[in-house]
Amino acid sequence: MKIKINISSDIITKPIMAEAILETGVLLNISQAHFDRSRGEVVADVLEDKFEMMCESLTSKGAVVKKLDTPINWDENECVECGACLSVCPTKVFSLDDEFNLQVDETKCIQCGTCVAMCPHNALSLGNNG
């Protein structure tokens, strides 16, 4: 399952993710991360049966953890299959079939929003994952 870990400025310099991994023994597969002086945000995969344990550990260290359970939304009626999403998606969510019809594999989505920003017809949106 995909999770988003938000780290505030007051704890951004602390190794809370490393501590949580060592404390729980739960591995995270980080697919996206952004850090600056004011905050940190990490999108990662964690095994579903290990989510609660990792969430409790990170939360106890000051992070905010949220399940990302709504992948990319594709409005087929609005889509003109221009291919803008194909060229920018880092995980290859989008592909073309043999007839050059757009195919969407939501399971690959890391919810980075890059395709949403590039779509000229607003045919893509992210769920309510903030």
Averaged pLDDT score across all residues of the chain: 91
Read off the pLDDT of each residue in 34-40 and give the average, rounded to a whole number: 90
Same domain, 9 and 52: yes
Per-residue pLDDT, 37? 86
What is the number of structural domains in the chain?
2
Same domain, 61 and 77: no
pTM of the model: 0.69
Residue 127 has pLDDT above 80, yes or no: no
**What is the C-alpha to C-alpha distance for residues 47 and 24, in angstroms, rounded to an integer?**
12
Which domain CATH number covers 60?
3.30.70.120
Read off the pLDDT of each residue in 92-117 and give the average, rounded to a whole number: 90
**What is the C-alpha to C-alpha distance for residues 90 and 65, in angstroms, rounded to an integer?**
23
Say what the alpha-carbon torsion angle 106, 74, 3, 13 is, to the nearest 10 degrees. Answer: 120
Phi, psi (degrees; rounded to nearest 5) at 23: -65, -40
Same domain, 8 and 53: yes
**What is the C-alpha to C-alpha distance for residues 60 and 19, in angstroms, rounded to an integer?**
11
Per-residue pLDDT, 52? 96
Residue 8 token pair: 């505030």
Q: Which domain holds residue 22?
A: 2-67
Same domain, 57 and 83: no
- Percent pLDDT > 70 in the chain is 98
DSSP 68: -
